């Protein structure tokens, strides 16, 4: 027999259980696009407790639409190892460009991250950060619906040993830190130049403020790098690199 109240109790109790476990984590990642999902997977696989916050309903960032709604994306040769780790198929186009189905890429990144133990909280916005002794120690969060509605509803907090800004072009967490501390400068994302953007994003993936790391297109926004369009190898490589940087620091 199916009972509606039992369904409500099951959803509520299990979500609260996940939420209470997720509010104290090793790494809080903001933004569930390609770099955020990749970072969360490798960190969880390395044994870290990871909470991933996404303001939208769906995860995957800009992957789903491919290039101009043609749901295929491109990755370059150095990123193939990551595709293999996730079990994602790809087709060679030439000696350095490989084509991936955008739907498979997004689905596989999400699936493998969750299976690795990442706790995902979608429809959750970050509206501030917590700083103690000059270091980020956590995030201030609220429901995205509250933000969209302009309701006066106080947020709540989560703690983390490291925070990752993987919010793409907006670099939301970095902008908050820049505004609140005056100790971080965002140079702004530049024009389209795929080769320079891809290499620059990976090279500049780093800790930009004590406890705050930047990955993916948020790197371009902080360091003033070009954008690159529907080529995603740099996003994946940046996500793996930031996971390695955090793992080294926390261990």
**Using one digit for the tens of pLDDT, what is the confidence trace for 215-238?**
999 999 999 999 999 999 999 999
Tell me the C-alpha distance between 28 and 41, whole Å: 12
Residue 147 pLDDT = 94
Residue 2 pLDDT = 96
Say what percent of the chain tops pLDDT 70. 100
pLDDT confidence bin for 186, thresholds 50/70/90: very high
Q: Distance from CA of residue 244 to its chain's centroid?
A: 15
Both tokens assigned to 59 = 């995860």
Residue 172 pLDDT = 98
Residue 87 pLDDT = 98
* Closest listed residue to residue 113, CA positions, set 35, 18, 24: 35
Kindly list the distances between the CA atom of residue 130 and the CA atoms of 75, 123, 157, 163, 213, in Å, as whole numbers in the listed order: 36, 20, 8, 11, 15
Residue 216 pLDDT = 98
Q: Which residue has the tokens 């990755």?
A: 75
Kindly list the distances between the CA atom of residue 25 and the CA atoms of 51, 99, 122, 157, 205, in Å, as whole numbers in the listed order: 6, 35, 16, 12, 22
Report the mean per-residue pLDDT for the chain: 98
| Helices 233-250 & 34-45 angle (0-180, nearest 10) | 40
**Average of per-residue pLDDT across 66-94:** 98
Query: Which CATH architecture is the domain 37-154+167-250 placed in?
Result: 3-Layer(bba) Sandwich (3.50)
Phi, psi of 190, rounded to the nearest 5 degrees: -100, -170
Residue 107 pLDDT = 98
Q: Where do the structural domains in the chain lie, given as residue ranges? A: 37-154+167-250
Residue 4 pLDDT = 98
């Amino acid at each position: 027999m199916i009972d509606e109240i039992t369904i409500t109790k099951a959803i509520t109790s299990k979500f609260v259980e996940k939420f209470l476990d997720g509010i104290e984590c090793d790494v809080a990642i903001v933004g569930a696009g390609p770099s955020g999902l990749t970072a969360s997977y490798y960190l969880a696989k390395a044994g870290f407790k990871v909470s991933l916050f996404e303001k939208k309903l769906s995860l995957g960032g800009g992957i789903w639409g491919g290039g101009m709604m043609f749901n295929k994306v491109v990755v370059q040769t150095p990123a193939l190892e990551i595709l293999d780790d996730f079990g994602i198929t790809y087709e060679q186009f030439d000696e350095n460009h490989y084509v991936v189905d955008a739907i498979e890429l997004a689905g596989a990144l999400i699936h493998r991250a969750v299976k690795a133990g990442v706790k995902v909280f979608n429809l959750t916005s970050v509206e501030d950060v917590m700083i103690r002794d000059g270091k980020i120690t956590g995030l201030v969060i609220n429901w995205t619906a509250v933000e969209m509605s302009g309701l006066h509803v106080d947020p709540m907090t989560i703690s983390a040993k490291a925070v990752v800004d993987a919010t793409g072009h907006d670099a939301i967490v970095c902008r908050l830190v820049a505004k609140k501390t005056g100790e971080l400068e965002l140079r702004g994302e530049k024009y389209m130049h795929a080769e320079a953007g891809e290499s620059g994003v990976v090279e500049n993936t780093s800790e930009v403020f004590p406890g705050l790391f930047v990955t993916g297109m948020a790197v371009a926004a902080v360091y003033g790098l070009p954008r690159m369009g529907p080529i995603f190898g740099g996003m994946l490589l940046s996500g793996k690199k930031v996971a390695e940087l955090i793992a080294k620091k926390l261990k």
